[in-house]
Structure 1
Amino acid sequence: MDAHRTVIELPHATVSALEWRPVAETGIPVLLLHGGGADSAELSWGEVGPALTQAGHRVIAPDHPGFGHSPRADWPLTQELLVRHVGELVDTLALSDYAIAGLSLGGGMTVGHLLDQPGRARTAVLLGCYGLMPRLADGFRGRITHLMSFLLLRSGLLGAMTRSYARNRPAMERGLRDLVRNPQARSPELVDAVLAEAAGGSSLETFGQWQRDQVLWNRLRTVYTDQLASIRTPTLLVHGDRDTGVPLARIETAAALLPSATLEVAHGAGHWVQRDRPDIVIPAMLEQLRSADAPTTRS
């Protein structure tokens, strides 16, 4: 099922989005938010979108400002402003009864939206979610890793290293092994698409701006863990047990704190879990959406 690309004019940004429309819209609409780095709506949701649409859902997957086909915004890419951005998307698209799902950075945007505008989304899905740990890595070594990342970010060396890495196909292939553990899913076509996004757009520079705001010398600026108990929206967390960026233990803690949560562990999967194990992620998302569509969930 082919996607239609559209331009969405928001109060504080203009974004490009992919939209899949079913023949008969029998389910609630779904807003999909992609991750950071060399990512886009097409890269993260190109397989998920059609599958949800075949089940009767209208699916909208925007490129965040500065990613994919969306121009950079004239405001700094902070977590708070990205959460505001999600609210503007919901308002502009006139979504009054909807599901929201996000990967990594998009997961953090999703949690922020659930906290900022409680009760608006009927259900949510978090994949490899950002905002659930105090530093970039756990343990004593994690503190050193975090501090080194902060210094590399502030010096500009991390940005230079990332740009060099993005032009080097063997390096990109090695990097994707941590994100997508399944060799069959880590296809040459995927490598080509990630290289094209990294080289042809502003996603890496834009993501670097967000990182510089979020990574303080001793901690991450945004940690939602203490606020999770206030989120009443039924939430599915999907996480790869080989995710080296966000430990599964952090997601298990989040699932225990959320009042209405289901945890689906994708065994053998890395951080880009829907690319790694679509056979697990898509059925789990469809089941969550079916539960949200059930008459007993309506108030």
Structure 2
Amino acid sequence: MWEEAARGLRARGHRVLTPDQRGFGGTPPTDQSPSLDLVADDLARELDRQGIGAVALAGCSMGGYTAMAFLRRHPHRVHALALLAARSTADTAESAGQRRRFADMVLDDSSRGRIVAGTAPSLLGATTRARQPRLLARVTDLALAARPRSVAWAQRAIAARTDSTAALRAADVPAVVVIGDEDELVSLDEARRTAAALPRGRLVTLPGVGHLAPLEAPEATLEILVDLLAHTETAGAGPC
């Protein structure tokens, strides 16, 4: 998801890490109970391994929820924050139930292909689906290629997350909340409330973009992050 933005940031002299979340990419799955706190602590250990203290942290969708979990558990290690397509509040009981039902269906060999193919389009905006059909095919293929066990674990971890509004209110760091105006999973009002919780937060709305701005609008995403880093350096946190 972050390949193009990472490449652009590195070209501007920034050090960029794009670690796989547990169970995805090269990271093995886990038998521990689903929790984004575990994923956040994985990131803290990776930063320790790399000899990195504080970072400018960006996350999209589940990555945004992980970023908020990291902020709750390791607030001193975040000196700038970008949240894309993520709400600060916990799931409602209805939404959490839907996620858990989705997790059950993903683990069912008879329903997995149908349910993934049916839900993948909602990850992209209508404009993207119409203008970039190959991107829709790519997202669908990536979703189908992911380990079912890991997808189910991730959905259950997101469903179990806590409200992060208080952590955002305590985060006095440069911050940006990004929402596509065609996001079918997180509303503009939810994004506004998330941005309002951040003392130094601002909201950026991307026209014609859905839930996955780093894939749908990589150049715009890059410029948003470049601007965030400029504000971070102006504030005295140093380059990252």
RMSD: 2.8
Q: Which residue of 1 aligns with 2:98?
A: 149
In structure 1, distance between residues paired with 2:106 and 2:219: 34
Alpha-carbon offset, residue 206 of structure 1:
0.9
Using the TM superposition, give the Cα deviation of residue 122 of structure 1 relative to its aligned residue in structure 2, in angstroms: 2.0
CA contact (8 A) 1:266 1:281 kept: no
Instruction: Name the residue aligned to 2:11.
Output: 54
Pick aligned residue for 1:91 from 41, 48, 55:
48
The question of 1:164 aligning with 2:103 is answered no
Are the equivalent residues in 2 in contact too, given 1:176–1:186 (CA < 8 A)?
Answer: no
Corresponding residue number in structure 1 for 2:90: 134
**Superposed CA offset, 1:212-242 (max 9, x none):** 3443xxxx54221233211122211111122
More helix by share: 2
Corresponding residue for 2:143?
A: 198
Aligned to 1:186: 132
Question: How many angstroms does 1:49 deviate by?
Answer: 1.0
Matched, 1:225 2:185: no
Partner of residue 207 from structure 2, selected from 259, 267, 286: 267
* Structure 1 equivalent of residue 153 of structure 2: 209
Distance across 1 between alignment mates of 2:111 and 2:6: 29
Residues 229-265 of structure 1, C-alpha deviations (whole Å, 9 max, x = no match): 1112221111112211111111111111111112111
Deviations 1:130-158 (A, max 9, x none): 5x23336xxxxxx7x5376167257x335
Q: Distance in 2 between matches of 1:92 and 1:207?
A: 26
Query: In structure 1, how many angstroms separate the alpha carbons of the residues matched to 2:45 and 2:52?
Result: 10
1:255 to 195, 203, 226: 195
- Structure 1 runs of 4+ aligned residues shifted over 4 Å read none
Shift of 1:100: 1.3
Q: Tell me how far apart the structure 1 counterparts of residues 13 and 80 of structure 2 sit (CA, whole Å).
A: 16
TM-score, normalisation: structure 2: 0.84
Report the 3-state secondary structure (helix = DSSP H, G, I; strand = E; otherwise coil) of the residue aligned with 2:75.
Answer: coil
TM-score scaled by length of structure 1: 0.69
1:179–1:272 CA contact under 8 A, matched in 2:
yes
Cα distance in structure 1, aligned partners of 2:207 and 2:111: 29
Shift of 1:125: 1.0
Tell me: CA distance 1:221–1:54, structure 2 relative to 1, closer, same or farther (3 Å): closer
Query: Residue 72 of structure 2 contacts residue 164 of structure 2 at CA under 8 Å; is this kept in 1?
Result: no
Higher strand share: 1
Per the TM alignment, residue 101 of structure 1 is displaced from its structure 2 partner at its CA by 0.7
Q: Contact 2:125/2:211 (CA < 8 Å) preserved in 1?
A: yes
Give the conservation status (yes or no) of the 8 Å contact 2:176–2:228: yes
Relative to structure 1, the CA distance from residue 120 to residue 163 in structure 2 (aligned partners, 3 Å threshold; closer, same or farther) is: same
Structure number with larger C-alpha Rg: 1
Equivalent residues of 2:183, 2:209 under 8 A apart:
yes
Supply the AA of the counterpart residue of 1:208.
A
Aligned residue number for residue 80 of structure 1? 37
